């Protein structure tokens, strides 16, 4: 007998919360209100980058705090973003997700060693919600080279989804893709696969106040940092019909609402994280200052740390990675985390002399040193000048822009414009972020999983490093 009663499914979705723990109790309370009203006809999903190691609660519990929040909020399924996949080693993320109560769905990540999904990840999922069969597919941005270094193979999400959709579409009433690929890719997905009902998107932090329609596929996105909760409602009036999106959009998170269980779990985890990060890792006998518009000892120490870690004679880093001076006395893990929170890794590249010179010239200009920066793993505020190891630079600030460096040497020899040099620098620059000319490097080798704060810790333990960082590399020549 044909079913004629109307069926409705509501989906609530979050993405790119980036460990903004302040918003999580309010989101949980809003979800609980909807659950009380809708019962089993509610699906709650997260689209990745829930974790961000910039937050002490995430760093100090290695993601455990986020997993507690996900469990207590009652998500039905989540996918991973690049902040989960790239900033944790596979064994740490496996440990974090060992205690998760909902499935982690991602189809385009497999372990290189086994050729299979890890034990804590499902390539696809079918859920029954109030008699409605929902197919869930998850895909994350394939940063192929980086993932290979961590022991993952990041597969082409379009190829994976093509196979999965063919296998799944006839088994389900609604097909949802949780996409941490970014809006441009979501648009291509919808055009290529009209069988998808809804694409819930993340990664590019886009806000879609109403669904973006491509054919019969609705694209949705709820911004970033947990300020918005995404909501989509699908209905059909008979089992012969395809479900249609009746409404979709975003609701501002109501900070007056708080889920007590989530709030108290966060307090407990923050205390635990603080204790974990209190461990002293080095002792210093003087303060290292930081400046964003000129050379400074802490900036020099960061450049030295990259040079020694990568084994390169030349290192180029940006001062904006460091959020304050390094004080004198006991230096804890937590202090290094707060001063250098970005999940950025070192890399080695071959770079021509003229590209090195151009980057250094740019770093003398306020529009580069003071440039506000976001994304690419960067968690500082401004780009900052370039700090160097292995170079001696003479410059005249009164000369015209791009012609201020009067002498540039490596190990006492003049830097040759057309010669290639092996340089230690930051993965961020390979994405054409900040000093774009540094993306011209070739023979890239990324050094994972250590972050810059780990390199600083190693450098602080190296005899003579503190004295070395006070030696000037930039010399101003007067007329």
Whether residues 138 and 153 fall in one domain: yes
Over range 325-344, report the average pLDDT: 96
Chain position carrying tokens 């540039």: 408
| Predicted pLDDT at 128 | 98
Measured distance CA(410)–CA(215) in Å, rounded:
58
Residue 311 lies in a domain: yes
| Predicted pLDDT at 2 | 47
Is there a contact between 264 and 236 (Cβ–Cβ < 8 Å)? Answer: no
pLDDT in tens, 276-333: 999 999 999 999 999 999 999 999 999 999 999 999 999 999 999 999 999 999 999 9
* Structure tokens given for 332: 């804890």
pLDDT band at 4 (very low <50, low <70, confident <90, very high): low
Last residue within a domain, chosen from 251, 273, 295: 273
| Predicted pLDDT at 240 | 83
Residue 2 lies in a domain: no
Three-class secondary structure assignment of the chain:
CCCCCCEEEEEEEECCCCCCHHHHHHHHHHHHHHHHHHCCCEEEEECCCCCCCCCHHHHHHCCHHHHHHHHHHCCCEECCCHHHHHHCCHHHHHHHHCCCCCCEECCCEEECCCCCCCCCEECEEEEEECCEEEEEEEEECCCHHHHHHCCEEECCHHHHHHHHHHHHHHHCCEEEEEEECCHHHHHHHHHHCCCCCEEEECCCCCECCCCEEECCEEEEEECCCCCEEEEEEEEECCCCCCCEEEEEEEEECCCCCCCHHHHHHHHHHHHHHHHHHCCEEEEECCCECCCCCCCCHHHHHHHHHHHHHHCCCEEEEEHHHCCCCECCEEEEHHHHHHHCCCCCCEEEEEEEHHHHHHHHHHHCCHHHHCCECCECCECCCECCCEEEECEEEEECCCCCCCCCEEEEEECCEECCCCCEEEEEEEHHHHHCCCCHHHHHCEEEEEECCCCHHHHHHHHHCCCCHHHHCCCCCEEECCC
Residue 413 lies in a domain: yes
pLDDT in tens, 344-400: 999 999 999 999 999 999 999 999 999 999 888 899 999 999 999 999 999 999 999
pTM for this predicted structure: 0.91
Measured distance CA(159)–CA(430) in Å, rounded:
26
Q: Residue 447 belongs to a domain with what CATH number?
A: 3.90.780.10
pLDDT in tens, 138-178: 999 999 999 999 999 999 999 999 999 999 999 999 999 99
Over range 95-122, report the average pLDDT: 95
Whether residues 236 and 298 fall in one domain: no
Is there a contact between 337 and 359 (Cβ–Cβ < 8 Å)? Answer: no
Measured distance CA(435)–CA(360) in Å, rounded:
9
Whether residues 285 and 253 fall in one domain: no
| Predicted pLDDT at 376 | 83
In the predicted structure, residue 1 carries a pLDDT above the cut 60: no
Residue 1 lies in a domain: no
Residue 289 lies in a domain: yes
Whether residues 15 and 138 fall in one domain: yes
What is the average pLDDT score of the chain? 95
pLDDT in tens, 13-37: 999 999 999 999 999 999 999 999 9
Whether residues 214 and 330 fall in one domain: no
Sheet holding 42-46, edge to edge: 121-122, 104-105, 77-78, 42-46, 7-14, 228-236, 244-252
Q: Residue 249 belongs to a domain with what CATH number?
A: 3.60.21.10
Whether residues 141 and 242 fall in one domain: yes
If one counts the domains in the chain, the total is: 2
| Predicted pLDDT at 32 | 98
Whether residues 147 and 78 fall in one domain: yes
- What CA–CA distances, in Å, run from 98 to 91, 112, 117, 119, 146? 10, 20, 15, 9, 23
Whether residues 292 and 236 fall in one domain: no
Whether residues 351 and 374 fall in one domain: yes
Q: Is the Cα torsion angle 50, 56, 58, 59 positive or negative in sign? A: positive
pLDDT band at 46 (very low <50, low <70, confident <90, very high): very high
Last residue within a domain, chosen from 228, 251, 273: 273
Whether residues 293 and 381 fall in one domain: yes
Whether residues 212 and 248 fall in one domain: yes
Residue 89 lies in a domain: yes
- The domain in which residue 319 lies consists of 279-476
In the predicted structure, residue 416 carries a pLDDT above the cut 50: yes
Measured distance CA(369)–CA(295) in Å, rounded:
11
Whether residues 115 and 202 fall in one domain: yes
pLDDT in tens, 215-270: 999 999 999 999 999 999 999 998 888 999 999 999 999 999 999 999 999 999 99
pLDDT in tens, 432-474: 999 999 999 999 999 989 999 999 999 999 999 999 999 999 9
- Closest C-alpha to 473, from 395, 397, 370, 413: 395
Residue 386 lies in a domain: yes
């Amino acid at each position: 007998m044909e079913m004629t009663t109307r069926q409705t499914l509501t989906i609530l979705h979050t993405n790119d919360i980036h460990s903004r723990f302040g918003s999580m109790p309010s989101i949980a309370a809003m979800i609980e209100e909807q659950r009380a009203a809708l019962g089993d006809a509610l699906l709650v999903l997260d689209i990745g980058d829930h974790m961000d190691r910039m937050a002490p609660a995430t760093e100090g519990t290695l993601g455990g705090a986020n997993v507690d929040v996900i469990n207590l909020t009652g998500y039905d399924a989540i996918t991973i973003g690049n902040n989960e996949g790239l900033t944790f080693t596979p064994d740490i993320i496996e440990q974090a997700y060992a205690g998760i109560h909902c499935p982690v769905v991602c189809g385009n990540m497999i372990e290189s060693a086994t050729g299979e999904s890890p034990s804590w990840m499902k390539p696809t999922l079918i859920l029954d919600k109030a008699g409605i069969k929902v197919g869930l597919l998850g895909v994350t941005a394939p940063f192929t080279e980086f993932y290979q270094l961590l022991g993952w193979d990041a597969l082409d999400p379009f190829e994976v989804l093509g196979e999965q959709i063919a296998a799944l579409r006839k088994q389900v009433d609604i097909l949802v893709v949780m996409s941490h690929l970014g809006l441009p890719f979501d648009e291509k997905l919808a055009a290529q696969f009209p069988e998808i009902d809804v694409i819930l998107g993340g990664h590019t932090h886009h806000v879609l106040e109403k669904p973006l329609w491509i054919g019969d596929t609705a694209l949705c996105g709820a911004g970033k940092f947990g300020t918005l909760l995404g909501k989509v409602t699908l209905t059909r009036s008979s089992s012969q019909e395809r479900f249609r999106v009746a409404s979709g959009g975003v609701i501002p998170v109501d900070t007056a609402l708080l889920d007590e269980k989530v709030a108290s779990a966060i307090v407990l985890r923050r205390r635990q994280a603080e204790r974990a990060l209190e461990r002293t890792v080095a002792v210093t006998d003087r303060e290292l200052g930081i400046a964003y518009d000129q050379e400074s000892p802490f900036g020099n120490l960061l450049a030295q740390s990259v040079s020694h870690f990568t084994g390169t004679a030349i290192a180029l880093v940006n001062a904006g990675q460091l959020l304050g001076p390094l004080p004198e006395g006991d230096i804890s893990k937590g202090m290094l985390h707060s001063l250098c929170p970005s999940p950025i890794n070192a890399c080695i590249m071959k770079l021509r002399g003229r590209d090195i010179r151009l980057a250094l010239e740019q770093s003398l200009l306020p529009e580069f040193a003071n440039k506000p920066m976001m994304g690419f793993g960067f968690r500082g505020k401004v780009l900052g000048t370039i700090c160097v190891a292995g170079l001696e630079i003479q410059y005249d600030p009164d000369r015209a822009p791009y012609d201020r460096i009067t002498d540039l040497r490596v190990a006492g020899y003049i830097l040759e414009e057309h010669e290639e040099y092996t340089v230690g620098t930051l993965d961020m620059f390979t994405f054409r972020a900040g000093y774009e000319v540094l993306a011209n490097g070739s023979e890239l080798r990324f050094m994972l999983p250590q972050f810059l704060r780990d390199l600083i810790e190693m450098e602080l333990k190296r005899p003579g490093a503190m004295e070395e960082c006070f030696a000037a590399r930039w010399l101003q020549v007067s007329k």
